[in-house]
Structure 1
């Protein structure tokens, strides 16, 4: 009987010790805004990305998950995040941008990005460099229809985009031609 009690007590102490000292990837995101997390993760070099963390951008929430569970963070009420991967040869299908697994063809590449709303207003116009994952991220006003133009080295892609509730957050159809 003493042996059973000793084993039981040892097991409880061992298990409680493990649970109280364990940390998860998700704990590092507590209290941070969706904008802060997205900016950090989208711009993290591919080689430095956590392999056990998944991060998916939806129109209304950022979903983070790892082996311990899931964390949902509300997106801003007035802003919509789109991440676009221009390409010349290779792309992949995507609807919700994954901050941890999506990679595009043109990493660390200078591009010019322009977004013009259907009413003619230029929402964004900038020369930038794609992130190490081959994407360029854009915070745009919610509920607009617009045209996205990406240019690189004399090549250009133009396509319609939307920032409505059912719109994609991942654009992988920006073929530069």
Structure 2
């Protein structure tokens, strides 16, 4: 079984999915045929949103902090494993992400979640907004790769840059003691969006 299949939402939650649109994975069934967007320069695509002058990592960090009406609704920013895919009505552009780091964003939930594979910085919305959490990542040997006391954003997500090639466990604990954990990988076939971590 491939690792990404371990991150599938529990069947009992299937009817409660779809808080907001996120980006499906590479194995998702295709939607209606469409014309591929025109490739354009990233700076030209970002100019109408006053987002030029940032590299891929800086843009990810900036957009992740936004929520609600602050997010540019006409821009789709999808975090892929090695690049940021930017799409508007004008076309499509990409920005590279750090070669040694992998960005993963988790939306811990208590009652409702949604399916996601590639994190969308401008459309994904999680349940637990502005919630204090402790995020810990341990590798297969039990070594702590990352730990931080932080809080979910206005979008209900908390993002983390991790070393590429990590395989282990992602644990999230809320300030009231609820905990959840899921398998995590940071390889070429792994998701950048984790929406299957239930805290209880």
TM-score (ref. length: structure 2): 0.74
Work out whether residues 24 and 68 of structure 1, in 8 Å CA contact, stay in contact via their aligned partners in 2.
no
Instruction: Name the CA distance, whole Å, in 2 between partners of 1:55 and 1:81.
Output: 13
Work out whether residues 26 and 71 of structure 1, in 8 Å CA contact, stay in contact via their aligned partners in 2.
no
Of Structure 1 and Structure 2, the greater helix share is in 1
Matched, 1:149 2:171: yes
1:166 corresponds to which residue?
A: 189
Matched, 1:59 2:50: no
Instruction: Name the CA distance, whole Å, in 1 between partners of 2:84 and 2:58.
Output: 11
Work out whether residues 41 and 100 of structure 1, in 8 Å CA contact, stay in contact via their aligned partners in 2.
yes
**1:72-83 equivalence runs, <5 A:** 72-83=94-105
Q: Which has the larger radius of gyration?
A: 1
Cα-Cα RMSD: 1.5
Matched, 1:26 2:46: yes
Work out whether residues 45 and 91 of structure 2, in 8 Å CA contact, stay in contact via their aligned partners in 1.
no
SS of the aligned residue for 1:76 comes to coil
TM-score (ref. length: structure 1): 0.83
SS of the aligned residue for 1:165 comes to coil
Tell which has more relative contact order, 1 or 2 (C-alpha 8 A, sep 6+): 2
- Structure 1 segments of 4+ aligned residues over 3 angstroms from their partners: 28-31
SS of the aligned residue for 1:72 comes to strand
How many residue pairs are counted as aligned between the two chains?
A: 155
**Offset, 1:56:** 0.1
Extract unaligned runs of 5+ from structure 2. 1-42
Of Structure 1 and Structure 2, the greater strand share is in 1
**1:2-151 equivalence runs, <5 A:** 26-27=46-47, 28-151=50-173
